[in-house]
Structure 1
Amino acid sequence: MTRPFPAVMTQGIDEPSRFEGEVYDLEVTDGAIPAEIDGLLVQAVPDQAFPPEVDHLYLMTVAAGGDGAVRAFRFKDGHADFRTRYVRTERFVLERQARRSLFGNYRDPFSDDPSVAGKSRTTANTALFFHADRLFACKEDGLAYEVDPGTLETRGAWTAEGGITSKTFTAHPKTDRERGKLIGFGYAAKGETTRDIAYYVIDDAGKVEHEAWLEAPVGAMIHDCAATENYTILPLMPITSDLERLRSGGPHFIYDPDMPQIFGILPRYGDADTVRWFRGPPGFTGHTVNAFEDEDGKIVFDVLEADGNGFAPVITDRAGQAPPPGSVSSALVRWRIDYNGASLTLSDRTVLATVNGEGPHIDPRRELRSHRHVFVPTLDRSKLATDQNGRPQPVMFNQLSHFDLETGARDNWYPGPAATFQDPVFFPRSQDAPEGDGFLIALLNHPLEGRSELVVLESLRLSAGPVARIKLPMRMRLGIHSTWIDGTQVPAWS
């Protein structure tokens, strides 16, 4: 590589790793990994393989534009092994052949090298999901890529045997485990900034059994979704796109504080004629928690909602402004929505808890059903460490939190100053364990020390601290979403 990375990408623990490899039998430095834990923790990681070659580098490119790598930890019999490997997307292969970056800013084809015009830009760097005994890495600007859960080798772009005709597929499909269905969609489905949405129901064999094309009222990010037994919810975020802005060299997304919250809701096998667009007061709709239908047939939709720009500072408003990191608060909000009601105005909203965090997890056995326990990495601003000049250290989430929606209780584990969590996973202790009784496993970064570790905690005893701490012999740059796959579904590693 003959070109250095820009300074903004080489600061601290989150500079590019550009590393593939494995460590067999990680060192447990404290406690013991419970022998009953059997599964695979996988995380999507944006990790630039080559420095971007653009005149103006947007922070969204730095944070979310990196080539996708799969970080994986296989737990079995009280041991943990580690592997990491890049996803061989079309983009990654082209750039490796050229030994330089060919694709420009985040979701901006106008900033690309002319040699890759019309090629897939996706990096598959945002999340992983498991369906039909197959593992997929995805980023919402392109198709998902299938990855072998043992070797992490890339098997290719996934179209569900040609059934997915959209150019894009969400990073957050939902699974109806009881019926073996995957509910997903692609927004900007016909190309960047379009309002087209392709909606899919995929069966337990991985084949499309329902496709519908919709048009959103606004060209905006639809990062997540939710599903009930009979309905699908598509929340539009106040992060809007514009083709002319993109053509003129501006950022793909900007934050629009005046945009109402908009939820597109349609029956599971619905289409453009049955989708209804509900609107509420402005608010930043974050990741969904869960959804289900109550005894009256109304949709109960739990979601994290921020009181400002939840993507600050990587996305600014029209004036190029963004609040400081950690200054925006979030809450766990419950909406009740009557799909068949006369009004399209959202009004039945309840704040269940003040959270100040993101990336919620529930017991997967309660998906599409009422739930009690929610686990979230959160930020306690009163515990932020400062440097010698009194400036807060760069911490995203400094504790793991458990919210009991039945009692209103909250339990936290704080690992100490200047430590920051990556996205955890939750899984039940056993299939017949009470709801929420299981384990949380999370990557914990110590930026000032340049090191990372894995921590294993009992989910209903977070404040007791880890039952195991696992040393990682290298720093782990910030990944995005993590997923847990039960060991019965994937082979043990050799």
Structure 2
Amino acid sequence: MPITYENEIKHSLKSSPHPYLSGPWTPNFTEYTASDMEVIGEIPKDIDGVYVRNTENPVQEPIGHYHPFDADGMIHTMSFRDGKAQYNNRFVRTKGFVAEQIAGEALWTGFVNDYNMSKRPGCGAQGNLKDGSSTDVVVHAGKIVSTFWQCGDGYQLDPYTLEQHGVVAWAPIDGISAHPKVDASTGEMLFFNYSKYPPYQHYGVVDRQGKLVHYTPVPLPGPRMPHDMAFSKNYSIFADLPLFWEQELLKDNIHLPRYHPDLPTRFSLIPRYGTEKDILQFDAKATYVLHWLNAYEEGNEVILEGYFQENPDPAPIPGLPEGPGKLMAHLALNHLQPKLYRWRFNLKTGEVKEGRLDDRDLEFGTFNQQYAGKKSRYVYSVWGAPNMFLFSGIVKHDTETGASWSLPFGEQRFGSEAPFAPRVNAKDEDDGYLVSFITDMKDDRSECVLIDAKDIEAGPVCRIILPHRISSGTHATWADGPTVRAYQE
């Protein structure tokens, strides 16, 4: 396997039995550029673009208790063109990563610890954390933008080479939450952030050239913990979810989330370039939603799909001490019990209709981003391994007919969020591939798989063997090759 670049990163991390520092979550410290990899099957010639995945990959021995959301970001990409593929992986050179490389040790503790244990001031909505830029990833204006779940700077990288381009120039003082959204129809990126001081949340629009063109409050009644947003053609959608830091404890700088099932989920719909006075609000059943899917408009209604948690505050996993058991339960889909769900907001009457689309525990969904903000039909979700933050298979839903198809990854094989990659000259919505990195614990390796989205039950059309077994992680995206290259010409 030709490797044109290999670099070993200095680290102080020790071997550990911690479930998120071992097994499928074992960190990597080597950066590669590799081509002519072993391929099982044949790489199709009708796929052109880049699969981008962010992973949580700690480098330094943690100060205090470790949680995977504390980790450094490592970006992995697989680019496709003319039946060939190239793999790259690089750590995101955040300010925190660079500072700890110089120090040779961790300088910040994680979010489940006493912040006084940190050796330097930090950042984030919660305060005093390291921005690892290890949560989400999108591609906008020809660059990867990686983000941190508690509002960080937003770091740019080249999709093909992973050359680092630093912090986005437009980053506001309160940072950028994970899950900014790119509207393929306009090239705009929509984003939000949140904080512990009024108005507690802001929303912004960045144009197709990377210029901040709109920024406005979307107020909340107090400090909250939103994680995602959605958009339709004319509206951006936010939710005040009834799981948030206990207000009284915040006075002592204690960040303890509690679920309040007596409060509704309150949705705010704001016109894309609207302000606070234009917000439309709707109350719905109490829940917590980690991730939304698509939203679109139909007549007088805005329709939103996502994953409704039936148990947002799960009990500790049996057999574990209460503290670790509680944290582990909050990472496991079988404990949170998220269901594929639809909300319908009537703009004329204010009525909300809502309900399940499936009875299984599913999350981390994707859809054809060419249909973002427009009526779409197909959703691709994953199900989880019991008691762990690991993905064991994919479900495709036809949300019009209710039909579904499933693909298990296999015994001791764990996948990643699988974005949709449209086939070159695609004819319809599901004409393309699902792309995922798979970690195979039996064969001790990782691979990139392409799955025909029209027939997921047939399994991968090809499997590309990576030069190393990669750590698990959170989010992934697909970037259209011609669109990215147009920005680079």
TM-score bucket of the superposed structures, by smaller chain: 0.7 to 0.9
Structure 1 equivalent of residue 8 of structure 2: none
Within 5 A, what are the aligned runs for 1:242-281? 242=246, 245=249, 250-251=254-255, 253-281=257-285
Within 5 A, what are the aligned runs for 1:186-335? 186-188=193-195, 196-242=200-246, 245=249, 250-251=254-255, 253-295=257-299, 297-309=300-312, 323=329, 325=332, 326-335=334-343
Q: 1:202 to 1:117 in 2, by over 3 A?
A: closer
Structure 2 equivalent of residue 474 of structure 1: 468
Structure 2 equivalent of residue 158 of structure 1: 168
SS of the aligned residue for 2:100 comes to helix
Of 74, 78, 84, 1:73 maps to: 78
1:136-167 per-position Cα deviation (integer Å, ceiling 9, x unaligned): 1111421211112233122111132xxx4332
Determine the C-alpha separation between the residues in 2 that align with 1:291 and 1:300: 5
Of 133, 138, 152, 1:129 maps to: 138
Within 5 A, what are the aligned runs for 1:365-404? 365-379=370-384, 396-404=390-398
Structure 2 equivalent of residue 170 of structure 1: 177
Structure 1 equivalent of residue 450 of structure 2: 456
Q: 1:355 to 1:2 in 2, by over 3 A?
A: closer
- 8 Å contact kept, 1:108–1:246: no
Structure 2 equivalent of residue 43 of structure 1: 53
Structure 1 equivalent of residue 115 of structure 2: 110
Structure 1 equivalent of residue 6 of structure 2: none
- 8 Å contact kept, 1:107–1:252: no
Q: 1:471 to 1:431 in 2, by over 3 A?
A: same
Q: Which amino acid aligns with 1:177?
A: A
Structure 2 equivalent of residue 413 of structure 1: 407
Which stretches in structure 2 are left out of the alignment for 5+ residues? 1-10
- 8 Å contact kept, 2:50–2:479: yes
Of 4, 10, 14, 2:21 maps to: 10
Q: Which amino acid aligns with 2:142?
A: D
Q: 1:167 to 1:434 in 2, by over 3 A?
A: same
Q: Confirm or deny that 1:145 pairs with 2:152.
A: no
Which stretches in structure 1 are left out of the alignment for 5+ residues? 385-391
Determine the C-alpha separation between the residues in 1 that align with 2:104 and 2:480: 38
Q: 1:373 to 1:365 in 2, by over 3 A?
A: same
Within 5 A, what are the aligned runs for 1:418-433? 418-433=412-427
- 8 Å contact kept, 1:6–1:51: no
Q: Which amino acid aligns with 2:115?
A: F
* 1:323 CA drift (Å): 4.6
Determine the C-alpha separation between the residues in 2 that align with 1:310 and 1:273: 33
- 8 Å contact kept, 1:21–1:85: yes
Q: 1:446 to 1:251 in 2, by over 3 A?
A: farther
Q: Confirm or deny that 1:337 pairs with 2:345.
A: yes
Determine the C-alpha separation between the residues in 2 that align with 1:362 and 1:3: 37
- 8 Å contact kept, 1:357–1:397: no
* 1:481 CA drift (Å): 0.6
Q: Which amino acid aligns with 1:285?
A: V
Q: TM-score, normalised by structure 2?
A: 0.86
Determine the C-alpha separation between the residues in 2 that align with 1:468 and 1:311: 39
- 8 Å contact kept, 1:438–1:458: yes
Q: 1:216 to 1:181 in 2, by over 3 A?
A: same
Q: Which amino acid aligns with 1:415?
A: F
* 1:3 CA drift (Å): 6.5
Determine the C-alpha separation between the residues in 2 that align with 1:409 and 1:376: 13
Of 240-249 and 218-227, deviating more is 240-249
Structure 2 equivalent of residue 361 of structure 1: 366
* 1:212 CA drift (Å): 0.6
* 1:7 CA drift (Å): 3.7
Report percent identity of matched pairs. 27
Determine the C-alpha separation between the residues in 1 that align with 2:198 and 2:119: 22
Structure 2 equivalent of residue 93 of structure 1: 98
* 1:321 CA drift (Å): 7.8
* 1:467 CA drift (Å): 0.8
Q: Which amino acid aligns with 1:42?
A: V
* 1:447 CA drift (Å): 3.0
Q: Which amino acid aligns with 1:410?
A: S
* 1:179 CA drift (Å): 2.6
Determine the C-alpha separation between the residues in 2 that align with 1:109 and 1:271: 37
Structure 2 equivalent of residue 184 of structure 1: 191
Q: What is the RMSD computed on CA atoms of the aligned residues?
A: 3.1
Q: 1:196 to 1:246 in 2, by over 3 A?
A: closer
Structure 1 equivalent of residue 4 of structure 2: none
* 1:256 CA drift (Å): 4.6
Of 426-435 and 203-212, deviating more is 426-435
* 1:27 CA drift (Å): 0.9
* 1:120 CA drift (Å): 7.7
Determine the C-alpha separation between the residues in 1 that align with 2:189 and 2:265: 25
- 8 Å contact kept, 2:394–2:407: yes
- 8 Å contact kept, 2:294–2:305: yes
* 1:270 CA drift (Å): 1.8
Q: 1:337 to 1:275 in 2, by over 3 A?
A: same
1:148-206 per-position Cα deviation (integer Å, ceiling 9, x unaligned): 2233122111132xxx4332212212223223322211112xxx576521211221221
Aligned residues: 465
